[in-house]
């Protein structure tokens, strides 16, 4: 009897050992990726556009099984463009969800607040569009796929002086978003180096909706042009109020804000409004595919989200979730074929050799109707 029991137990143990050593043929390896961006609030349209492109790439990756049997598990968090909320989201992703790769940030206040957390945990952090020049200087695991604000402000300032031959300017900017003071300083520095004048500057909170007090102060100086840096949700309000106050000069707006979905349509007088954006060569099939499937044109932020996912997946193919390997992979990339053109990183994880172009909002004057008496 004892021999039979022993034989049964031995058979059972051998079976367990065999099963433990076998993996199901179709077992999928899960790779966790965190997407943290500003999905609501004052800068919500930025994050939503990036998310559209990110999810379009994700759909493409899953449909074509670009990672083979590996499965991407995405964890979404809204940082509300707020440093405290951003850090809470990152803590959850890293400490609870065990995420090793995080992407999507559009607000530099969040990127600066979470850099110590990501760096100390060796998280591969692709702060997609956190444009503060100092973001990528916070650690060697931090990268960005958008040009820093220095490029934007200097491009528009050089255009204003070299092409439009303007002499006098006023500046108004949001003071509770790090991008505001950085863009203001870069614009001023470039204008002053060119020997031109900044006649006035005013700042305001992103929570304000009536800017006339600030605007009256700068318009009293009679500038030829006004440089405006604000979030998407306030861009049309400020421009409409500037025109209501009788200003007929040139307006320079922040590119990522004025090109956000629905902003231009809300501007009543579109005359003489310029903005700068990185040159988008649209060299890949992404743009046509997106319009065909979504029924709308992708903008630069949608393309940025697409690039963020695609470049990570290309790295994961080579490195899995080894973030040290991913870091080296990104640093060694040369002329990466993104949806927006060729990308290269410097030693700090920032894009290099970014070419900007200045565009003008299309303006169609209202037709003058002549009634016949």
Q: At what angle do helices 286-294 and 300-319 cross, to 10 degrees?
A: 110
**Averaged over 131-160, what is the pLDDT?**
92
Residue 206: what pLDDT? 84
Is the pLDDT score of 83 beyond 90?
Answer: yes
- CATH topology match: 30-146+282-353 vs 149-278: yes
Residue 149: what pLDDT? 85
- Could you tell me which residues come within 8 angstroms of residue 23 by beta carbon, excluding any fewer than 6 positions away? none
Rounded CA separation 294/291 (Å): 5
Number of alpha carbons in the 13 Å side-chain half-sphere of residue 44: 9
**Averaged over 120-145, what is the pLDDT?**
94
**Averaged over 361-366, what is the pLDDT?**
64
Say if CB 211 and CB 237 are below 8 A apart.
yes
Residue 203: what pLDDT? 95
Any idea where the domains of the chain sit in the sequence? 30-146+282-353, 149-278
pTM for this one? 0.80
CATH topology assigned to domain 149-278? Rossmann fold (3.40.50)
The hierarchical CATH code for the domain 30-146+282-353 is 3.40.50.2300
Mean pLDDT of all residues in the chain? 88
Cβ count near 53 (within 10 Å): 26
Output phi, psi for 246, to 5 deg: 95, 5
Convert the pLDDT of each residue in 248-294 to its tens digit: 999 999 998 998 888 999 999 999 999 999 887 777 899 999 999 99
**Averaged over 326-342, what is the pLDDT?**
94
Residue 318 binned pLDDT confidence (cut-offs 50, 70, 90): very high
């Amino acid at each position: 009897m004892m021999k039979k029991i022993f034989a049964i137990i031995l058979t059972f143990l051998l079976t367990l050992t065999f099963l433990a050593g076998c993996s199901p043929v179709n077992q999928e390896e899960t790779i966790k990726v965190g997407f943290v961006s500003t999905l609501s609030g004052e800068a919500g349209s930025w994050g939503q556009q990036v998310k559209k492109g990110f999810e379009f790439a994700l759909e493409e990756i899953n449909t074509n099984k670009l990672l083979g049997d590996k499965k991407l598990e995405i964890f979404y968090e809204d940082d509300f463009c707020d440093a405290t909320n951003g850090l809470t989201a990152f803590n959850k992703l890293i400490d609870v969800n065990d995420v090793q790769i995080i992407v999507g940030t559009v607000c530099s206040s969040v990127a600066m607040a979470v850099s110590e957390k990501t760096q100390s945990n060796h998280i591969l952090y692709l702060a997609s569009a956190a444009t503060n020049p100092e973001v990528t200087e916070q650690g060697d695991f931090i990268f960005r796929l958008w040009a820093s604000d220095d490029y934007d402000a200097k491009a528009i300032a050089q255009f204003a002086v070299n092409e439009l031959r303007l002499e006098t300017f006023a500046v108004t900017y949001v003071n509770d978003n790090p991008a505001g003071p950085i863009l203001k300083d870069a614009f001023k520095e470039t204008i002053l180096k060119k020997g031109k004048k900044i006649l006035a500057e005013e700042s305001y909170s992103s929570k304000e909706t009536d800017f006339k007090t600030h605007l009256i102060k700068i318009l009293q100086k009679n500038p030829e042009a006004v440089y405006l840096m604000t979030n998407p949700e306030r861009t049309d309000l400020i421009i409409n109020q500037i025109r209501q106050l009788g200003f007929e000069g040139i307006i320079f707006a922040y590119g990522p804000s004025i090109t956000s979905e629905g902003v231009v349509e809300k501007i009543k007088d579109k005359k003489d409004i310029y903005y700068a954006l990185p040159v988008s060569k649209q060299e890949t099939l992404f743009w046509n595919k997106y319009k065909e499937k979504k029924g709308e044109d992708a903008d630069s932020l949608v393309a940025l989200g697409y690039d963020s996912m695609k470049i990570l997946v290309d790295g994961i193919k080579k490195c899995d979730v080894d973030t040290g390997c991913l870091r080296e992979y990104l640093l060694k990339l040369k002329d990466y074929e993104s949806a927006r053109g060729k990308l290269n990183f410097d030693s700090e994880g920032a894009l290099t050799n970014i070419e900007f172009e200045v565009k003008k909002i299309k303006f169609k004057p209202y037709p003058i109707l002549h009634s016949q008496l």
